[in-house]
Amino acid sequence: MTRIKLPYYVVRNGRGYFEIGKERAKDTGLLASEPLGEDGPEAWRRARASYEAYLAARDPNNKKRLGGYPPGSLGAAYTLWRGTPDWKEKAARTREEYERAWDDHIDPNFGKRPINKITVADSEAFHRRLQRDISASDAHRTLKIWRALLNMLAKKHLIARAPIGAVTNPMPKGRGQFWLASEVARLLRAAHLLHRFTKDDKWQAMGLLVWLGWETALSPADCRTLTLAMLKRDRSGWYVERERTKTGAAAKPPISDTLADALSAYATRGGRTPLPSANLFHNSAGDPMDRFHMADNFRDLRRVAFGKGEIRQFMDIRRSANLEADLGGASAQDRAAVMANALDKNKSLDAVYTPVTVARARKAQEARGAGRELLAQELGRAKSRKPPAGGV
């Protein structure tokens, strides 16, 4: 067989090994001797991948470059990857998802673990633990990021293959919860009281976000990223003019004069003069409100208003607005236009935003009364008809 020269690749008894020695292994957190199987193309490929992992694990500068993680660890690889063009090209929302999954779940479990010591069994156990201990939606998002990280390591030849395992990561079931108008009013009162007693502007922002979501049926992201430039007025009153954050579709929902005044007062509080293109809503630190601060703040607001047992989310406000319009007689086309989506053409999307409700069933039952009379009239007309002379 043709022999090939690879750094730290040795052959003994027809089998290949990647061997860096005990000192290099201690410095990098990698194996001193890694068995690669029978000498041949597959072992050579794995040797190249192991060498790439070794190069990545070495720390020629200082530990700060690796974010304080041990050389060769998953945390070090993640830190280095975040400095690459691959990371910078990702959308801001995607980067936020990575950071949330890393901080909350991946780092505590695998941050300091050598990347070549993460096994399929580890990954499968991680899958099962998340699916057991946290919500279905959080588990799905975290595991999606976990798999993407492992695949990135394999793509960069830092590991031979991604040790994902055979555990599935099913999409969580669609939500069907909604809020009543009286319950939204209760959330607004809670936000007002929290702001009054804590003097923290995040509660004023949270109250306005709930109010904005209720009046406009905009998504949480579209509410959170509102700017003053998006507030418009015509002869009939105020409205929001913006592109959907998720799809880019145009949305122009109207808002009340009262809400428009409240948004303007919030924007100019304390003598501020915000740029028309700057995000209107901010967190306690004065930074633009991101999706995670918004979710955390809404969770706290909900707990104050309804207690720990309440699980409905901000996103359910959008569904509530659609349900009200549906039961009030608005067509699917009109509701799709307001929400800037395709629920009038997409049955799955319609099922998400217009779930089955008792009120909808009762409305259909009431409609049966009118239909019953029409059927009776039709039957009466049929009986009154006489067959033509001579039969058929």
Which CATH number does the domain housing residue 190 bear? 1.10.443.10
Classify residue 157 by its DSSP letter.
T
At residue 392, does pLDDT exceed 50?
A: no
Lowest-confidence range among 31-45, 168-182, 278-292?
168-182
Average pLDDT (344-361) is 59
Are residues 49 and 68 both part of a single domain?
no
Q: What's the pLDDT at 319? A: 86
Q: What's the pLDDT at 36? A: 87
pLDDT in tens, 114-152: 988 899 999 999 998 988 888 887 888 899 999 999 998
Are residues 323 and 198 both part of a single domain?
yes
Q: Is the pTM of this model over 0.85?
A: no
* Spatial separation of the C-alpha atoms in residues 159 and 150, rounded to whole Å: 9
57 is written with which tokens? 């694990």
At residue 349, does pLDDT exceed 60?
A: no
Q: CA angle at residue 229 from 228 to 234, to 5 degrees?
A: 100
The beta-strand segments (E) located in the chain are: 9-12, 15-19, 33-38, 231-234, 237-240, 242-243, 250-251
Q: Which of 63, 84, 156, 62 is nearest to 115 (CA)?
A: 156
Q: Is 37 left (phi over 0), alpha (psi -120 to 50) or beta?
A: left
Q: What's the pLDDT at 131? A: 86
Residue 238: how many CB atoms within 10 A of its CB? Answer: 19
Mean pLDDT, all residues of the chain = 82
* Spatial separation of the C-alpha atoms in residues 21 and 18, rounded to whole Å: 9
Residue 386: pLDDT band (50, 70, 90) is low
Lowest-confidence range among 1-15, 59-73, 274-288, 323-337?
59-73
Average pLDDT (41-57) is 79
Residue 105: pLDDT band (50, 70, 90) is very high
The beta-strand segments (E) located in 154-288 are: 231-234, 237-240, 242-243, 250-251
Are residues 48 and 66 both part of a single domain?
no
What total of structural domains would you count in the chain?
Answer: 3
Are residues 159 and 297 both part of a single domain?
no
Helix (H) / strand (E) containing 303: helix 291-306
Q: Which of 339, 330, 336, 333 is nearest to 363 (CA)?
A: 330
* Spatial separation of the C-alpha atoms in residues 245 and 255, rounded to whole Å: 19
Are residues 244 and 341 both part of a single domain?
yes
Residues of the chain with pLDDT > 70: what percent? 81
Are residues 212 and 334 both part of a single domain?
yes
Asked if residue 18 lies in contact with residue 25, where contact means CB atoms within 8 angstroms, the answer is no
Are residues 21 and 79 both part of a single domain?
no
Q: What's the pLDDT at 174? A: 62
Are residues 68 and 87 both part of a single domain?
yes
Are residues 197 and 115 both part of a single domain?
no
Are residues 127 and 245 both part of a single domain?
no
Q: Which CATH number do you get for residue 146? A: 1.10.150.130
> Is residue 224 domain-resident?
yes
Q: How far is CA 31 from CA 88, 139, 157, in A?
A: 31, 31, 16
Asked if residue 262 lies in contact with residue 281, where contact means CB atoms within 8 angstroms, the answer is no
Q: What's the pLDDT at 62? A: 44
pLDDT in tens, 230-253: 999 989 889 999 988 777 788 888
Which residue segment(s) compose the domain that 19 sits in?
1-58
* Spatial separation of the C-alpha atoms in residues 49 and 156, rounded to whole Å: 8
